[in-house]
A and B are shown apart, each in its own frame.
Chain A
Amino acid sequence: MPVLGTAQFGVRTFYAASHPHDKCGANGLPVTPNSVKILGRFQCLTSLSHHRLCQYLDISKTKHECMIIVSEHHPQCLKEKLKSEGTFSEEQIVHTGFQILEGLVHLHDNNVTHRNLGLENVLLDQEGNVKLSEHGLYYMTDYGADVSFPIGLPRYMPPEVLCSGPVRVDDDSGKCIQPLSGPKADVWTFGILLLELILGQEMWSDLGINEKLQKILQFVKSDMSPFDILCQNNATAQKLQALSLEMRDVIRQCLIVSSSKRVKSGDLYQHPLFKAERAKAVPPKKDFTMCTTELRCENLELPTYEETIANEFSDDHLSQRNMQEVYYLWRLAGGDLESVLKKAGMSKTRPPVNLLPCFGILDGDVFGQDRDYAELLDNTVIKLNQEQLRHRLRDIPPRAYYPRLEDEAKQLDGQQLPTSPSCGELTTSATLPLIIRERDVEYQFHRIILYDRLLIAYPFKRAHIWREARVDIPPLVRANVWAALLEVEGDVQGAYDAIDKETPTATDRQIEVDIPRCHQYHELLSSPTAHGKFKRVLKAWVLSNFGHYVYWQGLDSLCAPFLALNFNNEAMAFACLSAFIPKYLHKFFLKDNSPVIQEYLAVFSHLIAFHDPELSNHLDGIGFIPDLYAIPWFLTMYAHVFPMHKIMHLWDTLLLGNSSLPLCIGVAILQQLRDRLLSFGFNECILLFSDMPEIDIERCVHDSIKIFCSTPKSATYRQHARAAKSRNVEERPNVSYYSRDYNEMPRTELSMEPIPMDELKGEKCPRISAEDLIELGELAGAGFSRSPTKKRQGSKPMIFIVDVRSQEDYRRGTIQGSINIPFQTAFSPEGELVPGPAVSTLNQKRSQVIVVLGNRGRSASNFANELVRLGYSRVCVLHKGIDVFRTTGLIIVPPADI
């Protein structure tokens, strides 16, 4: 993406052809509007960057299929320059011609045909260098099929385009069948353009449109080269004959009637005419790719403050930022396209009454509508004023554009919560609600600049990115930040390219019926371009996991957020999906996944009971079990149940957590709906979830972190979670007790171990491992501790141990700090706890995690079940009972008087 430099932003509009009302496709469903098709096709143009092309920035659609396109713009164009200067020297023409050719070659290398080249669409920047504009119109409209105006000016049309007649569109697929112009069409136009520069005027400017077209068609009838025909013309002969042989050869080769014999743009580039220009040409800057195995930083130049003030832009630091970023900030600074258009009088539409037909028949066909001239192409470009943005950023010190990362890193090694380094005084903003932060132009500015630097230094700066992500992730950089959090690395593109995504497989039907139902309210994802990408990414996943995992409905939902973010980078979408699944959904896509899901749901039930026994008791009582509503939650990590913008915020946090965090999110959702659930019966509860009710995501995220932090690590142990990775995970900051997966810890006999399913389901409470108990109860010195926890108040849950064995057993030895409430005598016939000093102590400690300690038998879990029934929260059971401590030397004889 090029830097802003002296470029402006320009807006153009055009209308997509609207379908007749009620038009249905082969499946009986309404056909995709042309505007949505254009929206999808447009996207890849934004990553088609080249210093000879005006950068495309944004597209949106408004009412009546009106498309608004934002792109780089420069006030001067070749047409005006020609007018003001009259003629160009041959040297000048070669220079300008070569620059145009550079742009064309780049387009053609990327399979884009301009088809709209002309003097008016060759813009010149302040230094007089060429910037082609409008080069994507033909491409984004599917060869003109999606609009009802012709593309390209008549005098530039090559004969084959005129001969093949108007655009024809296939009724079923809505695709353009004919005529499709290829790159050779641009070569012809390039030839005409050179002629115009030579002659100092437009070709055939004195002729009407019919006569112009006739002129072109005459070329077809003659055996002579069009150039030679033109040389015979009295008006032009003199100038043409004065040209160098090379120039004449170039024009002659461009203007070959048969497109198959016409020269290719790439060969033209190598023509001797351009020898000197070629030698001077600077190779285009390669765009930064985050994941590659090439040497990325070989030519890396980070702009520095000193350099920038030394060069001519002196104090315009914004001009050194990339255009996409500046445009993004422009919008945050209050820029609004529709109001700009309104002000410019561009969004005029005719009152509907003027659009009524004169005559209609019962079949529904109507006649006598005037053509709406708004549907024709309007070449007006509205410039977007950057003043407002610059004004908003005026107080930002120049140095803020060039943040240093190292110092802050040191500072962050301390204990305090990670703050955003480059924004010292912005920490106040960091506490504002996310929605506000995302709209605050200054805040976003700092965050984007910081992340930009961090991402360039990925993977080296992974730990720092991780820390920043705990504050927030700016939407503009989310795609890459997510990839960084998922630890995507290496030759992502190569890996993706190596997978066969075309050969039909048995899963294709399912994928094909699922895609058109997946997040289709999202304009981008509902476009045919998106459907194609969806299909390839999903097929790539299925294929690369062949024999191991299979496609389950729901995988499409999981793919959607990654695709929406990496729309122009399928390989990255695929890489993220491939990294996400093992982390959060390990084994979920096994052919037989029921043990995995059953265990997950059982642990979820435990977690509900742990944090909200009242709700758990109610839901259990009415038979409203997670199996009935939570499968789509977990199988898609909530991507099936929330709209896209909510998924983005939810996953921003999810990606920072370990594989247990999703369970906590589930509990947070239930708690947000708690009052309703408690008052509802079975039917109402399940109806509530058959259409996910409105959830406040920021609150949900907040709550789930709290829930996560007050849950002992081993309580969410799952045997089917991913086992420890062999790779060292130390690079990630081990900020707290929680940042690692339980399964990533070394195993000992004090650890959790697989629990049989029926046992798991029979218990209401989670179990806690001896290891965790030692850690949380601080029963042993640091040397004993296996998790490198920083001992900080409030950084982990407090625990309280209840020994439910008989008094004799208890007297013989227990764990430090425990109280004794023997199960046998604990409960009255009514099921209440029999009052006593131990019970009073228990009641005082109700805010702590209650660990029930027993023998190997069932009494501990039965005791715990009773506590849940009585509404005690945060109850868990010591796995394997007291025996597990035999070898640790941690069993003590309790002081006699408790």
Chain B
Amino acid sequence: MASRGGPQRPNGASQGKICQFKLVLLGESAVGKSSLVLRFVKGQFHEYQESTIGAAFLTQTVCLDDTTVKFEIWDTAGQERYHSLAPMYYRGAQAAIVVYDITNPDTFGRAKTWVKELQRQASPNIVIALAGNKADLASKRMVEFDEAQAYAEENSLLFMETSAKTAMNVNDIFLAIAKKLPKSETSGTPQPRQGVRLNNEQGGQQSEGGCCK
């Protein structure tokens, strides 16, 4: 059974820098995107997690050494039809987790398509992680670990197999992303929160950069 521990907020000194990053989750419907976010943010797992329509937004903060990293997480709808909304969410994102379901090879194919799209359309220095979710269902596995890892290496993606149900690797994948994100002091003061820019039709390159101070 899934353990339902409290939210995990790695403790640490928070006097250091505060960084805010926009992260987007992409992947076929029902691979467990919302479940991963829920596990990461609230430490919970709902068997009957509702499907996502449009997108959902959540935030979570993690501490890395002396840096506090605040994730603004956009969890998108997986159905192919909602594709046209996706750019609105990944535009300006500094990180993306592309999720597939290890028991369903089609979802892995779809994940690859997302990676390609991100490489073409998203900010050039976006950090992309690949998550093979539902790792608890090892007996039903249809996508081999090695195959996915090889693909991730080729495309310089972070890669982990995760399970929102057992919490395996869920915090880890977010932490790994946090570590990889640039926490330079270049971009000065944090930007005021602006929501998502919708009117910018071709704003793929709008680089907001890491907003650290």
Contact status of A631 and B54, CB under 8 A, knowing A623-B193, A683-B72: yes
B165 (CB) vs chain A CBs: closest residue: A28
Q: Which residue of A lies closest to B137 (CB)?
A: A28
- Asked if A550 CB lies within 8 Å of chain B CBs, one says yes
In the complex, chain B residues whose CB is within 8 Å of the CB of A623: 193-197
Q: Given A28-B165, A553-B51, A554-B53, A510 and B29 touching (CB < 8 A)?
A: yes
List chain A residues, Cβ under 8 A from B137: 27-28
Of residues 93 to 149 in B, which have CB atoms within 8 Å of A's CB atoms?
134, 136-137, 140
Closest residue to B54 on the A side, CB-wise?
A: A631
Q: Which residues of B contact A27 (CB under 8 A)?
A: 137
What per-residue 1/0 map shows which CB atoms of B42-61 lie under 8 Å from chain A? 00000111111111111100
Cβ-defined partner of B48 (8 Å) among A28, A526, A554, A683: A526
Tell me whether B198 and A625 are in contact (CB under 8 A). yes
Structural contact, B47 and A30, CB atoms closer than 8 A: yes
Chain A 618-636 interface mask (CB, 8 Å, partner B; 1/0): 0000111101100110011
Task: Verify B81–A550 contact, CB threshold 8 A.
Answer: yes
Query: Out of B52, B53, B72, which one reaches A636, CB within 8 Å?
Result: B53
In chain A, residues 788-815, which have Cβ atoms closer than 8 Å to a Cβ of chain B? none
Within 8 A of A (CB), among B17-70: 29-30, 47-59
* B84 part of interface (Cβ distance < 8 Å): yes
Minimum Cβ distance to chain B for residue A524 (Å): 14
User: Inside 8 A of A550's CB, which chain B residues have their CB?
Assistant: 81
Nearest-neighbour CB distance to chain A for B8, whole angstroms, equals 19
Task: Tell me whether A594 and B1 are in contact (CB under 8 A).
Answer: no
- Is the CB of A289 closer than 8 A to any CB of chain B? no
A520 in the interface, Cβ–Cβ < 8 Å? yes
Q: Which of B48, B54, B58, B78 contacts A520 (CB 8 A)?
A: B48
Is B212 engaged at the interface, CB distance under 8 Å to the other chain? no
**Range of interface residues on A (Cβ < 8 Å):** 35 or more
In the complex, what's the smallest C-beta–C-beta distance from A554 to chain B, in angstroms?
A: 5
Tell me, in angstroms, the Cα distance from A4 to B119 when the chains sit together: 70
Proximity string of chain A (302-323) to chain B, C-beta cutoff 8 Å, 1 when within and 0 when not: 0000000000000000000000
Task: Identify the closest chain B residue to A682 (Cβ).
Answer: B193
Q: Are B59 and A513 in contact (CB under 8 A)?
A: no
- Cα(A625)–Cα(B88), bound, Å: 13
- Please tell me if A411 contacts chain B, counting CB pairs below 8 Å: no
Cross-chain pair count, CB within 8 angstroms: 95
Q: A521-B48, A552-B81 are in contact. Are A632 and B53 (CB under 8 A)?
A: yes
Docked pose: A410 CA to B131 CA in angstroms: 68
- In angstroms, Cα B195 to Cα A514, docked, is 29
Decide if A295 is an interface residue (CB 8 Å cutoff).
Answer: no
Q: Judging by beta carbons under 8 Å apart, are B48 and A517 in contact?
A: yes
Chain A residues with CB under 8 A of B81? 550, 552-553, 591
**B199 to A, closest residue via Cβ:** A761
Q: Chain A contacts of B198 at CB under 8 A? A: 625, 627
- Contact mask for chain B residues 169-213; partner A; CB cutoff 8 A; 1 contact, 0 none: 000000000000000000000000111111100000000000000
Assess whether B53 is in contact with A517, with CB atoms less than 8 Å apart. no
Q: A28-B165, A510-B29, A553-B82 are in contact. Are A622 and B136 (CB under 8 A)?
A: no
Q: How far is the CA of A510 from the CA of B79 in the complex (A)?
A: 7
- B77 close to chain A: CB less than 8 A: yes
A66, CB-defined interface residue at 8 Å: no
Contact with B along A532-570 (1 / 0, CB 8 A): 000000000000000000101110110000000000000
Q: B77: which A residues are within 8 A, CB to CB?
A: 553
> Whole-angstrom distance from the CB of A724 to the nearest CB of chain B?
29
Kindly provide the distance from the CB of A758 to the nearest chain B CB, expressed in whole angstroms: 9
What residues on A are CB-neighbors of B84 within 8 Å? 592, 594
When A and B form their complex, which 8 residue pairs have the shortest distance between CB atoms, in order from nearest?
A623-B195, A513-B30, A631-B54, A520-B48, A632-B53, A686-B57, A682-B193, A553-B79
B-side residues, CB < 8 A to A, are 1, 29-30, 47-59, 72, 77-79, 81-82, 84, 88, 134, 136-137, 140, 165, 193-199
Q: A-side interface residues toward B, CB under 8 Å? A: 22, 26-30, 510, 513-514, 516-518, 520-521, 526, 550, 552-554, 556-557, 591-592, 594, 622-625, 627-628, 631-632, 635-636, 640, 681-683, 686-687, 690, 761
